[in-house]
Chain A
Amino acid sequence: MVRLGDDPATARRTLEAMWRIRRFEEAVDDLFARGLMHGTMHLSIGQEASATGACFALRDDDAITSTHRGHGHCIAKGADLERMMAELLAKETGYCRGRGGSMHIADVATGNLGANGIVGGGIPIAAGAGLAYRLQGIDRVVVSFFGDGATNEGAFHEAVNLAAIWKLPVVFVCENNKYGMSFSTEKSMAVETIAERSGGYGLPGVTVDGNDVEAVNEAVTTAVDRARAGDGPTLVEALTYRWKGHSKSDKNLYRTREEISEWRDKDPIGRFEALVVERGVLTATDVEEIRAAATNDVRDAARRANAAPDANPDDLLDAVFATA
């Protein structure tokens, strides 16, 4: 299997995606801290490899469902940074025209069927999209992203079962970042891994290092191939960690500074950079340029988004129902 860090073009794309996610979220974090962005947000800094590795296993016309912590999925699937930033900045030019915000960004054109504010909410929707593609005779695959916490929701179990009995073209990607808000996986489940929950439904389950973008990509590619061939769904558990708190209110009372620091040392981006430089696929200068370009892209996106008109309340009632 070809790895993401084997050739310069793919390695560059992979690194670009991860840096764009990192820089986007750092910018959002900063805007919130400075009181320039309202509402709430959930950052995935530290989890860039699972979003990127999984989305890079998909074709452009494949679909994803995402989560409240979904900026990374969105960007890795190809969303426009300016429209994302505009949405968070409450602008009319945002993906949802200011009606959704951070937790509801979707980009149907790039196959992103939507982030979701409800834990587990997107999982049955992914199964349904897979069913639609099957009924339409299209060989598209759906990746459903969710966290460890969602696997304790009934929606997860019902959706995985439906996908399994109907052999739907769905890949369930659990980003296990160890905590459902503050509640650790050690406390929330009596099994060792989330992958083994697949055994209860008759589908394969694998656990991979979620901070290794190549490992995630390899596992999801295998699962996507299987799904596309009509052999049914797979559960992929990617072990990762969010460096930031659950949301703005998080004081990190449930985890230690040492634990956070330990995971910062496993930075998925630095790790991939070191790998591709060591392999001689990219140079240190290339890496530096990619990082700088991502910084610039995010800065430009924020500047343009900020200049856009504010979301307009005049037609809110007309927006409730679709008309045709």
Chain B
Amino acid sequence: MRRALVAAVLAVGAVVSVLPFYWMVVAATHDGGELFASPPPFLPGAELMANLARLEESVHFGRVLATSVWTALVYTALSSLVSAMCGYGLAKYRFRGRGVLLGAVLATMMIPFQVLLVPLFQMMASVGWVDTYQSIVIPFLANSFGIFLMRQAFLGFPDALLESGRLDGAGDLRIFYRIVLPCVRPQLGALVIFTFMSQWNAFIWPLLMLNSEERYTVPVALNHLIGLSHVDYAGLMLGAFLATLPLMLVFLLFQRQFVSGLLGGAVKS
């Protein structure tokens, strides 16, 4: 009886969370006009190729997707490295002001991004970075959440191992790459997923910085499908659907690390 109840509740939850995704697939494969028919279509339609062709024509979706993928990859690689190094430094090196520095990093998590928009925009404009790729990658390399996550991961790392590495003549960088980093793979996997997602979904900052169509990322380009008196819903849905695929790929690749990474440090034995 209780099992049936639980199953029913779960089934409802599953439907509620899958339905929007299913509608996205349905809408992506229909003509925009058909979506407003009553009743709306329930099964995927036959307009996928036509929508794809229109999406390519209106916003050059292939190019946009490629731009998004490589800016997200570059950002993820650099930002994860910065976070890991910074977190390692804060966890394992003793220096004057370490606590203050950690506090400062944490404090920046509390500043809403809207407050940073204008000053950051002015900085980018003054170095001539408006409408460049580096403007959407460089300013966010030091990511306070990532630094904190990695610091926590490194805290439990035994100092004895570091000392033995030093005694064997390994330099600091070698210790970091060869001994320390491999031990925090779960947390690093989680960090990779987080940073990739944040860059992949980033909208307002790329929107403000990028002015040339040939540099648009996926969210900025999709925004162009919303016009004054016409919204290309079929194209929008198809674009949104295609945009979820790389995210799924990243999640599947790093999934095992992701789950254990979030639980890492929850229980200390």
Please say whether chains A and B are actual partners in one complex.
no
Interface residues of A (CB under 8 A from B): none
